[in-house]
Structure 1
Amino acid sequence: MGDNFRGRKPAKIRKKVNEKKPVQVASDFHGIKPDKNPDPFKGLSHFRKYDPRPKNRLPLKNKNLELLLGGSVKANYYVVRNAKTLDKTNDDEVNMWRQRVEMSLLARGGREDYGKDAVEALLTMHSALFWRTYQTKRYGTYEGSITNQDSITPSILAFIKEAYLKLSFDTMFEAFSGHPHHLKVGYFPFLVGRGISLGDQSVGGVSYFGFGRSGVQTYAPEFAPGVLWSGVLPHDVGYDLYFSPMVSENVDTYVKHNVLSQDRDNNFATLNPLINSPENANARHVVAGRLRYQTKPSENTRVYGEPYLVYYNSPRQTKEIPCDAPLDLMTLGMMFDGSVGGFRANFEIAAQYGKQKVQPKVYYTSAGAEDFRPAY
Structure 2
Amino acid sequence: MNNFEFYNPTRIVFGQGQISRLSTLIPEDANVMVLYGGESARKFGTLDEVEAALGDRKVSLFGGIEANPKYETMIKAVEQVKNEGTDYLLAVGGGSVVDGTKFVAAASLYDGEPLDILKTGGAKLKEAMPFGAVLTLSATGSEMNKVSVITYDAAQAKMAFISETVFPQFSILDPVKTFTLPPRQVGNGIVDAFVHVTEQYLTYPVNAKVQDRFAEGILQTLVEDGPKAMANPEDYEARSNLMWAATQALNGLIGTGVPQDWATHMIGHELTALYGLDHAQTLAVILPSLLEEKQQQKQAKLAQFAERVWGMTEGDDAEKATQAIIKTREFFESVGVKTRLGDYQLDATCIDPLVQHLTDHKMTHLGEHQDIDLDSSRRILNRSL
Same fold (TM over 0.5): no
User: Structure 2 length normalisation: TM-score?
Assistant: 0.25
Structure 1 or 2, whichever has the larger Rg, is 1
Higher RCO structure (Cα 8 Å, ≥6 apart): 2
More helix by share: 2
More strand by share: 1
